[in-house]
Amino acid sequence: MKIKAEAKILVEESAGSDGMISRERVAAVCDYVDQKESPRRKTALLRAYAKLLALELKKQEALVECSGEIGGATFESIKEFIKKAAPEAPAKLKFAKKVNGKLLGGIRIRYGDNIWERTVRTTLDALR
């Protein structure tokens, strides 16, 4: 089997039934590769696995940036918004909050490769 295809399978195996990647499963996958593969192939496979895993991990967490602190109710409504906007997201999606003064006002949500943004900064940039 080609390294890329095998790495894909390993990434799938690293995720549990809830779609979340766990530390234990990743360790088990690494052990499996260590035992089964030849030293030369092992390195290439682990590199490809790490690359794909990094992309997958991006989809396990959503980052919510705001120019100030976000209240609990607002944060909950943001969570609901992301679940609707990205139905492919795992059910146990992690959410992180970050205060970013550079936004000047408004909110920016990042999930995977997607960004939802409504900030004063982008509006000013667009006007410029």
Partner 1 sequence: MNEILNQISERISKIESENRKSNVGTIIALADGVARLSGLSEAMYNEMISFDDGVFGIALNLGEEEVGCVLLGDTSSVREGQEGRTTGKLLSVPVGKELLGRVVDVLGRPLDGKGEIKAKEFFPVEKIAPGILPRKSVNQPLQTGILEVDAMIPIGRGQRELIIGDRSTGKTSIALDTIINQARINKEGIESGAKDFRPVYSVYVAIGQKNANLARTIQLLEKHDAMQYTVIVAASASENAANLYIAPYSGCAIGEWFMQNGMDALIVYDDLSKHAAAYRQVSLLLKRPSGREAYPGDVFYLHSRLLERSARMNEENGGGSLTALPIIETQQGDVSAYIPTNVISITDGQIFLDTDLFNQGIRPAISVGISVSRVGSAAQIKAFKQVGGTLKGEYAQYKELAAFAQFGSDLDARTKATIEKGDRLVEVLKQKNNSPKPVQMEVAILWTLQNGFLNDIEVKKIADAVKSFEEYAKAHGQEVLGRILSEKVISDGIAAQLKSLCEAWKKTFI
CB 31 to partner 1: min, Å: 25
Q: What is the DSSP letter of 123?
A: H
Residue nearer to partner 1 on the CB measure, 23 or 46: 46
What residues have CB less than 8 Å from 123, skipping those under 6 apart?
A: 106
Instruction: Give the residue carrying structure tokens 């995720």.
Output: 15
Residue nearer to partner 1 on the CB measure, 24 or 125: 125
Residue nearer to partner 1 on the CB measure, 100 or 123: 123
Give contact residues for partner 1 (rule: CB under 8 A): 51-52, 55, 85, 110, 112-118, 122-123, 126-127
Sign (positive/negative) of CA torsion 25, 27, 28, 29?
A: positive
